[in-house]
């Protein structure tokens, strides 16, 4: 096919003839988003509205959870309806360690990430042998299993949840005690996650994962079986969601099995679809938009969920590609 540009030509176009990649629209959008978030605490202080910092922290935390879901939903085409289980497991792992006097992030983060990654690998090895609606239902079942297991842990609060003794420390130092400190910690984690997943999406692994989403039969025919790639992505997504759970528990200073409910999983899917699946930046924007809508509408009516539902339906029907689709060009895709 003489009309198709070669791989070398495409790389040269992206690098401008040199060896360094030029910033893409998605990269610039991510930088702009992070810069906008970084301005929230000083703006909130100047306006005398400190709750804005706490709200922005929630946006970052749930944006991180939605970003982890986008790895399997957007890049892998896998609709997981139990993704909130990883969020809850990460928070619960932190709560259990806190109850036993282990309050340092150097212990809590590896424990939470490892437990979520292991749960994702074990359940994913079973769920990924199914497709379509069967995959949706089996992930929902595993999520509910985790939820009811957490409810049954009476020693750690059970259905009532448990309050943390204090926010986590880092090597014995109380670096997360202030709301602004927690906000910037969440922002740093978000920046690292966006950078890491953008590299994953642009790597050979990411290209194969997208190929298994579009045509798994053809990918297997050329030597790339879908199962190991999807399982790896599922494990990475679970571990990243567990990190979001650590941040969520620290912000609320409370751990509840409700973090694992199927309703929370549904909200994460809405965030991904609203922002634009497969775009990486989109789920973060979707999380921010959904939380902002909840805050604004709840102040005006007790029936705010009806208004929120109508807005979401309209955005899906009219906004092709989600909010990230409003970006000219490729819609912010990595």
With the C-alpha atoms ordered 96, 99, 101, 103, is the resulting torsion angle positive or negative?
positive
**Is 2 inside a domain boundary?**
no
Instruction: Check pLDDT > 70 for residue 18.
Output: no
Indicate the range of 20-24, 58-62, 63-67, 309-313 predicted with least confidence: 20-24
- Residue 15 within a domain: no
| 130 domain residue, yes or no | yes
Q: What CATH number is associated with residue 46?
A: 1.10.3470
At residue 325, the pLDDT reads 62
Residue 144 lies in a domain: yes
Least confident of 77-81, 213-217, 239-243: 213-217
Confidence band (pLDDT; 50, 70, 90) for 264? Answer: very high
pLDDT of residue 84: 95
- Write down the pLDDT at residue 132: 87
Q: How many domains does the chain have?
A: 1
**Which residue pairs from 116-120 have beta carbons closer than 8 angstroms and sit at least 24 positions apart in sequence?**
116/86, 116/89, 116/90, 116/238, 116/239, 116/241, 116/242, 116/245, 117/235, 117/236, 117/238, 117/239, 117/242, 119/85, 119/86, 119/89, 119/146, 119/238, 120/86, 120/234, 120/235, 120/237, 120/238, 120/239
Token readout for 206 is 């990411």
Domain for residue 126, yes or no? Answer: yes
Separation CA 258–CA 152 (nearest Å): 13
User: Does residue 302 lie in a domain region?
Assistant: yes
Q: Which of 231, 228, 218 is nearest to 135 (CA)?
A: 231
* Domain-located, residue 245: yes
* Gap between the Cα atoms of 107 and 320, Å rounded: 43
Output the pTM of the full model.
0.87
Q: Which domain holds residue 248?
A: 23-326
Q: Is residue 255 part of a domain?
A: yes
């Amino acid at each position: 096919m003489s009309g198709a540009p070669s791989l070398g030509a495409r790389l040269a176009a992206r690098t401008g003839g040199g060896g360094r990649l030029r910033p893409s629209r998605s990269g610039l959008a991510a930088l702009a988003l992070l810069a906008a978030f970084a301005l929230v605490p000083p703006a909130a202080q100047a306006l005398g509205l400190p709750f804005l910092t706490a709200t922005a922290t929630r946006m970052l935390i749930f944006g991180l959870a939605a970003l982890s879901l986008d790895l399997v939903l957007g890049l892998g085409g896998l609709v997981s309806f139990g993704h909130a289980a990883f969020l809850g497991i990460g928070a619960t792992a932190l709560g259990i360690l806190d109850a036993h006097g282990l309050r340092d992030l150097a212990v809590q983060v590896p424990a939470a990430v490892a437990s979520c990654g292991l749960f994702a690998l074990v359940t994913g090895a079973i769920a990924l042998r199914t497709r379509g609606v069967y995959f949706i239902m089996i992930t929902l079942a595993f999520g509910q299993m985790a939820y009811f297991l957490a409810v049954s842990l009476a020693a750690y609060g059970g259905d009532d949840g448990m309050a943390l003794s204090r926010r986590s420390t880092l090597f014995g130092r109380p670096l997360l005690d202030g709301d602004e400190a927690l906000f910037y910690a969440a922002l740093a984690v978000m920046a690292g996650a966006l950078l890491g997943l953008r590299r994953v999406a642009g790597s050979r692994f990411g290209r194969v994962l997208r190929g298994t989403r579009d045509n798994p039969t053809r990918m297997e025919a050329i030597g790339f079986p879908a199962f190991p790639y999807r399982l790896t992505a599922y494990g990475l997504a679970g571990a990243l969601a567990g990190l979001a759970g650590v941040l969520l528990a620290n912000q609320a200073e409370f751990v509840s099995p409700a973090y694992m409910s199927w309703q929370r999983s549904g909200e994460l899917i809405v965030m991904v679809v609203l922002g634009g699946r497969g775009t990486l930046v989109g789920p973060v924007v979707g999380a921010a938009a959904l939380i902002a809508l909840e805050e604004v509408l709840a102040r005006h009516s007790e029936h705010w969920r009806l208004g929120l539902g109508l807005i979401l339906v309209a955005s899906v029907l009219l906004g092709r590609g989600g909010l990230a689709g409003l970006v000219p060009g490729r819609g912010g895709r990595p």
